[in-house]
Amino acid sequence: MGTVTLGVSIAVPEPYGSSLQELRAGFGDVAAHGIPTHVTLVPPTEVAADRLPAVRAHLAAVAAAGRSFAMRLAGTGTFRPLSPVVFVQVVEGGPGCTRLQGQVRDPQGPLDRELSFPYHPHVTVAHGISEEAMDRAYSELEDYEAEWICSGFALYEQGSDGVWRKLREYPFGSGASGVPAQLGSVTDSSAPAGAGEATVRRS
């Protein structure tokens, strides 16, 4: 049946997700428009296509037991020289992200995998571009701030065109309103609608 490449992440809500995506594209990152703005929980992972139902069931169980938590972004950081990445920092909500990614990557579950680097929640705004462009991203977004309530996460699949498309949203608990919507994202018909409350400041 073949394999699929999956990822699990927390969406940065609109209008901030698409705003950061456009800024990323403006820095020269050609992959920007194929990657909805997010905080990674599980990086790109290849799994057998027939394991997708088990993945969905596992994520639903993790989400059902989850609770919403506050997220706040502020300032920039970089993984250089180990990795050519500039990011906006997660300054509130990091422990929630760390706990959640551990549950999603449960060694007994279908998304168990080793990470190349220790888990560090962040929002990538430049990857694999020139040093000059990454310096510009780091400088221009150093005063960026945004905050929202994380009420769930989502499962994405990378297509053969390199674009990441949302397969399904997983809101926390039975009363959660859903994952924040993002412009241009594709969801299946069974995914719940809804958007999280968010504020942003950029000086």
State whether the Cα torsion 83-36-69-203 is positive or negative: positive
Q: Is the pTM of this model over 0.75?
A: yes
User: Between residues 188 and 71, which one has the greater pLDDT?
Assistant: 71
Q: pLDDT at position 195, please?
A: 34
The answer, yes or no, to whether residue 55 has pLDDT greater than 60, is yes
Classify 84 as helix, strand or coil.
coil
Q: What is the 3-state secondary structure (H, E, C) of 7-25?
A: EEEEECCCCHHHHHHHHHH
Q: Give me 59's structure tokens.
A: 């994520």
Residue 116 confidence class, pLDDT cut points 50, 70, 90? confident
Region of poorest pLDDT, from 30-44, 61-75, 77-91, 162-176 = 162-176
Q: Note the pLDDT tens digit of each residue in 82-107.
A: 999 999 999 999 999 999 999 999 99
Separation of alpha carbons 75 and 90, rounded Å: 9
How many CA atoms are closer than 13 Å to the CA of 84, on its beta-carbon side? 9
Tell me what the pLDDT averaged over the chain comes to.
88
Q: How many CB atoms within 10 Å of residue 118?
A: 6
Give 33's contacts (C-beta < 8 A, 6+ positions apart).
21, 25, 163, 184
The residue type at 20 = L
